[in-house]
Amino acid sequence: MTSIVNASTTHEGKGRRFHSDLWANILTMGKQKTKKFAVMKRMINLKDNRIKDKDRAKPKEKKKKDPSALKEREVTKYPSCLFFQYNTQLGPPYHVIVDTNFINFSIKAKLDIVQSMMDCLYAKCIPCITDCVMAEIEKLGMKYRVALRIAKDPRFERLPCTHKGTYADDCLVQRVTQHKCYILATVDRDLKRRVRKIPGVPIMYISNHRFNIERMPDDYGAPRS
C-alpha cells in the first residue's frame, strides 16, 4: 500500500515539474536572450608548454641604427625672389587677394576697400577675388547682397579657379604659396595662422577701423612687436 502511495506522489511531482517547465518555456518564447557583458574568451598563453615551438611568439628584434648613416629630412625649397624674409616680387601696383570675411568686415567698418588699401600702402592697389570666394558670397544669399555688389566692382580683378567646390581657404593658401606676388587680405584667424607659415607673404587685416598690414618691409600702420 505504501509503495502505491509513493508511486502516485512521484507521478504527481513529475507532472507538476513538467507543467512548470512548459509554462516557463511558453513565457520565455519570443524574448531575446541577453548576452553576458564583457565576457572574455579563454585563450592559452603563448608561453604555455602545450604550444609547439614553431607557434610560439618570438620577441621582436630591434634594428640597430647605424651612426655613420646620413639622416634624411625634407627641406622646403624657397623661391629665388625671397631675400631672407623680403619678397622682391612685391611692388606697386600691389595685387591684394581678398576673402569673404574681409569684404564683410570692411562693410561693417564702413571702409572703401580700394581707397583704404591705397591709404595703407601709399601706392596703387588692385584688389583680386577668386571664383570660389565669389561663389561663397553668392551662397550667403540676399543678406549679403552689398558684399556681392562690391565683389562685382569693375576695379576688382577676377582670378579663375580650377578646383572643385567653393571652399576658399585651401585655394587662397595654395595660390599665395605658388605665386609670391600677392598680398592676402583676411580677418580669419585660422587662415592667418596658415599663411604666416609661408615666408614672404604679407597679410592685410582690419584693426581700429582701418587697414593694417604685417610682414612687409617699411609697412605702415601695423603694430610692431
pLDDT greater at residue 3 or residue 59: 59
Taking the C-alpha atoms of residue 208 and residue 218, their distance in angstroms, rounded to an integer, is 20
3-17 pLDDT tens trace = 444 445 555 555 566
Q: What value does the mean pLDDT take over residues 143-155?
A: 93
Q: What value does the mean pLDDT take over residues 188-208?
A: 92
Q: What is the pLDDT of residue 18?
A: 58
Q: What is the band of 37 on the pLDDT scale with cuts at 50, 70, 90? A: low
Q: What is the pLDDT of residue 32?
A: 57
DSSP for 126-145, please give it: EEEEEHHHHHHHHHT-GGGH
Q: What is the pLDDT of residue 217?
A: 65
Please, which residues have CB within 8 angstroms of residue 63's CB and are 6 or more apart in sequence?
none
Q: What value does the mean pLDDT take over residues 73-98?
A: 78
Q: What is the pLDDT of residue 155?
A: 94
Q: What is the pLDDT of residue 31?
A: 57
Domains of the chain: 90-214 (3.40.50.1010)
| pTM of the shown model | 0.62
Please, which residues have CB within 8 angstroms of residue 183's CB and are 6 or more apart in sequence?
90, 94, 95, 96, 97, 201, 202, 203, 204, 213, 216
Percent of the chain whose predicted confidence (pLDDT) is above 90: 43
